[in-house]
Structure 1
Amino acid sequence: MPEQNSVVIDPSGRDIHGEAARIRERGPVARVELPGGVEAWAVSSPDLLRRLLTDPRVSKDPRRHWPLWIDGRISPEWPLFTWVAVQNMFTAYGGEHKRLRTLVSKAFTARRTAALRPRVEEITGELLDRLDKAGARGEVVDLREEFCYPLPIRVISELFGLPEEQGAELRAVVDGVFNTAATPEEVTDTYARMYAVLGELVAAKRRSPGDDLTSALISARDDEGGTRLSEQELLDTLVLMISAGHETTVNLIDNAVHALLTHPEQLAHVRAGRAGWDDVVEETLRVRAPVASLPLRYAVEDLEVGEPGDPDRVVIARGEPILAAYAAAGRDPGTYGADADRFDVTRLGKEHLAFGHGVHFCLGAPLGRMEARVALPALFERFPGLELAVPEEELSPVASFISNGHRSLPVRLTTGG
């Protein structure tokens, strides 16, 4: 196994794609140092990542397969604690994963997603009408705050029956979960607030069930003496569905708008019919993955990666954690060519791993794609003269090496092309 120094992951996510390039330079699998000095293997080769994501010798359950967790060496103050502590399908393995995923998978079928489209179009129209008023006043608008964020959060809130008055608190919790640069105090505070907010939601839905997914999950918990879903699994499934159910779509819409505004020739391809909005969505997912890196998986046994004699061959030892480096994989030159880091909506072969692969493939992918496919053409049709209001270099990323988007996206709204 080749010796190599670890690439130290910047928890603030200040240079996600530069960091991804440095990881790729180390080979298909590279040693990285996560916050808190935790060592892991980052996998950046799309082919290898696909294989590992479907390999039964790779687990997501730290309670069974991560010695640092089993031995109590991972503190609740660790910035990634919530990502491994939750008990839901995200951290489940084997039969447990299948059991938990089955409980929510019916809510995200292609048919149910299609049925949501009219409501997504309605919300999009409402948001654009509100933006129209700001545009008429000549104001600079934070498009992430006023459009990219509210569409997905309203959709997921309606799906899960979240009361509007809890919106601000839930947003703060989700932002805290994705903030990998958080202080120990912020980490523990977010963890406590998360369960307090969701506990209140569950209690309210038990008192007054509705036609929503939270009520359906409670029913699954309470049926058959609670044998199908424990109380902790109920709460943690809500954590997963509410947070992942909107954060990735916020970043997808944000990154797509940013890419088109900074690559006007690509927007011209779409307007001329040389590419479609599906191409915009998929190329954005490839080149600017909404989730840059996803923690964590664990080797169930020693895994030999590469052929004997291969200079890049490594052995991922039993129990060592694995980081799925989606942002790095999406720009792999061996897969996408020398211009892999270029946003090109006319590119052939835009297949990517932005939503994962295998049994842990993102359940909400069809919904996220549909929301972006509705939002983007509606936005650019309403405001064909849309432009960034600040130089690109002044934009700041969210404070995360997981979530890949902008803190704000200031734009000028004009109806002239």
Structure 2
Amino acid sequence: MYTHEDPVVIDPEGSDIQGEIRRIRERGPVTEVVLPGGVRAWSVTGAAELERILSGSEVSKDPHQHWPAFRNGEIGQDFPLLNWVNTRSMFTAYGSEHRRLRNFVAPAFTNRRTSALEPRIRGIANDLVRGLDAAPASEPVNIREHFAYPLPLRVINELLGVPEHLVGPLRKCVDGIFDIGLSEAEAVANYEEMIGLLQTLVAYRRESPGEDMTSTLIFHVDDPAKDFSAHELVGTLYLTVNAGHETTVDLIDQSIYLLLSNPDYLAAALDGRLSWTDVIEEVLRFEPSIAHAPLRYAVRDFSIGDVTIAEGDPILSCPADANRDPEIYGESAVRFDPTRTNKGHMAFGYGAHRCPGAPLARLEALLALPTLFQRFPHMRLAVSPEELGTVPGFIANGHDRLPVFLK
């Protein structure tokens, strides 16, 4: 049951994500929006409402079961979010199917496995900083491109066992997945190319297995006792590459930007008065890597607040606003403050679909930031914030570029 005649139309380019989210929130914690492609959905921005949506049984992430418009063929190939809802993985699974698929992925992200990656992540961070040290002091450096981007890329490639010849092509495809502004033809071609590259990765690791996640998942596919198909393997790799890379890039990007914009907090972190963990958690609250998370679908009619959501209605989660809800964080909700007591957030989701890679993302940021700032404590922005731009699309929340003077 839709109630607004003039819902907010989401900008597919995400040129002013926080401004647009404020306009949505002004209409209430659950309100109607129009997604790119003309699809109407409910945007959930209130923290209590989003927590209920994400943790309850009233919604599903499986469009094949619970989105009648998708199931009946009304959602065409030109829907800009098609690749976000159509790829079979635990991201788009529901109930027992989600638990089954998650069980194959979770072992790669246990605390023990994550901690074992620390020396390698530290080595990558140090290697990147050494490379930055050679840059001329008088010239700006795009720190997103030369530090925030390559560190998670190298980590996820090593985790998955991606050979060198596939690294560049996969990077290009990941960028395209988050760019909702691509034409239908460009989006389809990008998706098909990425699936093809992941199939090539599987073939490579089948011939040359290693101590990596892809090789482990191939073992599950080949085990007749395991209920895990080759199609689900590729979908799982697709999810892991996209969720495990861009989101961590934006976490590091936003952390650098917010610290450079708040030099007192940077100084406190550098001299130990403020922990890097406190900084990272506040960045995740204030500027989460995912602004809007598509999509969920009402399993049945239900009411939330003063809104009735009908069975089959699509739902767009908005952690970027739930994390700034004044009901939770008070009047300071819209301020970046790593010293605040309550830094709880839903940047990694909530409930059954909470991101299993959250500990790895946190570890990468925890190692990357002090490595960078201890080497370049006088780093400063080289342009005004208005000149930084945003990454394409309304899902990811990062800067298009982040030029800095290192020294």
TM-score (norm 2): 0.97
Q: Distance in 1 between matches of 2:26 and 2:271?
A: 38
Q: Distance in 2 between matches of 1:143 and 1:165?
A: 24
Q: Which residue of 1 aligns with 2:181?
A: 181
In structure 2, relative to structure 1, the CA distance for the partners of 1:90 and 1:2 (3 Å cut) is closer
Query: Would you say the 8 A contact 1:9–1:35 is kept in 2?
Result: yes
Q: Distance in 1 between matches of 2:43 and 2:358?
A: 23
Q: Which residue of 1 aligns with 2:82?
A: 81
Kindly provide the amino acid, as one letter, of the partner of residue 254 in structure 2: N
Q: Distance in 2 between matches of 1:259 and 1:327?
A: 15
Identity of aligned residues (%): 52
Q: Which residue of 2 aligns with 1:309?
A: none
- Whether 1:100 aligns to 2:133 is no
Q: Give the 5 Å matches for 1:102-251.
A: 102-136=103-137, 138-224=138-224, 228-251=227-250
Query: Would you say the 8 A contact 2:45–2:317 is kept in 1?
Result: yes
Q: Distance in 2 between matches of 1:59 and 1:128?
A: 43
Q: Give the 5 Å matches for 1:20-31.
A: 20-31=21-32
Instruction: Say which SS state the counterpart of residue 32 (structure 2) adopts.
Output: strand
Instruction: Say which SS state the counterpart of residue 256 (structure 2) adopts.
Output: helix
Kindly provide the amino acid, as one letter, of the partner of residue 191 in structure 2: Y
Instruction: Say which SS state the counterpart of residue 407 (structure 1) adopts.
Output: coil
Q: Which residue of 1 aligns with 2:255?
A: 256
Q: Distance in 1 between matches of 2:165 and 2:404?
A: 28
- C-alpha distance after superposition, 1:289-319 (max 9, x if no partner): 100000000100001112xxxxxx0011000
Count the aligned residue pairs.
Answer: 406
Kindly provide the amino acid, as one letter, of the partner of residue 141 in structure 2: V
Query: Would you say the 8 A contact 1:305–1:314 is kept in 2?
Result: yes
Q: Which residue of 2 aligns with 1:325?
A: 318
Q: 148-157 or 73-82: which moved more? A: 73-82
Measured after TM superposition, the shift of residue 77 of structure 1 is 2.5
2:354 is aligned, of 358, 361, 385, to: 361
Q: Give the 5 Å matches for 1:261-272.
A: 261-272=260-271
Query: Would you say the 8 A contact 1:6–1:33 is kept in 2?
Result: yes
Q: Distance in 2 between matches of 1:36 and 1:3?
A: 20
Runs of 4+ in 1 over 3 A off after TM superposition: 271-274
- C-alpha distance after superposition, 1:104-134 (max 9, x if no partner): 1011011111111111111100000000001
- C-alpha distance after superposition, 1:207-231 (max 9, x if no partner): 2222211011111112107x51122
Query: Would you say the 8 A contact 2:140–2:405 is kept in 1?
Result: yes
- Whether 1:296 aligns to 2:295 is yes
- Whether 1:390 aligns to 2:391 is no
Query: Would you say the 8 A contact 1:23–1:328 is kept in 2?
Result: no
- Whether 1:379 aligns to 2:380 is no
Kindly provide the amino acid, as one letter, of the partner of residue 286 in structure 1: R
- C-alpha distance after superposition, 1:68-122 (max 9, x if no partner): 1101111222211110011010000011000000001011011111111111111
1:334 is aligned, of 327, 340, 344, to: 327
Kindly provide the amino acid, as one letter, of the partner of residue 369 in structure 2: L
- C-alpha distance after superposition, 1:209-257 (max 9, x if no partner): 22211011111112107x5112221111000011111111100000010
Q: Which residue of 1 aligns with 2:337?
A: 344
Query: Would you say the 8 A contact 2:122–2:367 is kept in 1?
Result: yes
Kindly provide the amino acid, as one letter, of the partner of residue 350 in structure 1: K
RMSD over aligned CA atoms reads 1.3
Instruction: Say which SS state the counterpart of residue 134 (structure 1) adopts.
Output: coil
Q: Which residue of 2 aligns with 1:68?
A: 69
Query: Would you say the 8 A contact 1:86–1:236 is kept in 2?
Result: yes
Measured after TM superposition, the shift of residue 47 of structure 1 is 1.3
Instruction: Say which SS state the counterpart of residue 30 (structure 1) adopts.
Output: strand
Structure 2: gaps spanning 5 or more residues: none
Q: Distance in 2 between matches of 1:217 and 1:82?
A: 22
Query: Would you say the 8 A contact 2:270–2:374 is kept in 1?
Result: no
Kindly provide the amino acid, as one letter, of the partner of residue 174 in structure 1: V
Q: Distance in 1 between matches of 2:304 and 2:335?
A: 29
In structure 2, relative to structure 1, the CA distance for the partners of 1:102 and 1:387 (3 Å cut) is same
Measured after TM superposition, the shift of residue 135 of structure 1 is 4.3
Instruction: Say which SS state the counterpart of residue 91 (structure 2) adopts.
Output: helix
Q: 144-153 or 329-338: which moved more? A: 329-338
Kindly provide the amino acid, as one letter, of the partner of residue 323 in structure 2: G
Kindly provide the amino acid, as one letter, of the partner of residue 204 in structure 2: A
Query: Would you say the 8 A contact 1:40–1:323 is kept in 2?
Result: yes
- Whether 1:278 aligns to 2:280 is no
Kindly provide the amino acid, as one letter, of the partner of residue 291 in structure 2: A
Query: Would you say the 8 A contact 2:60–2:296 is kept in 1?
Result: yes
Q: Distance in 2 between matches of 1:21 and 1:61?
A: 28
Q: Distance in 2 between matches of 1:164 and 1:32?
A: 42
Q: Give the 5 Å matches for 1:299-310.
A: 299-306=298-305
Structure 1: gaps spanning 5 or more residues: 307-312
Q: Distance in 2 between matches of 1:228 and 1:3?
A: 43
Query: Would you say the 8 A contact 1:78–1:187 is kept in 2?
Result: no
Instruction: Say which SS state the counterpart of residue 367 (structure 1) adopts.
Output: helix
- Whether 1:16 aligns to 2:17 is yes
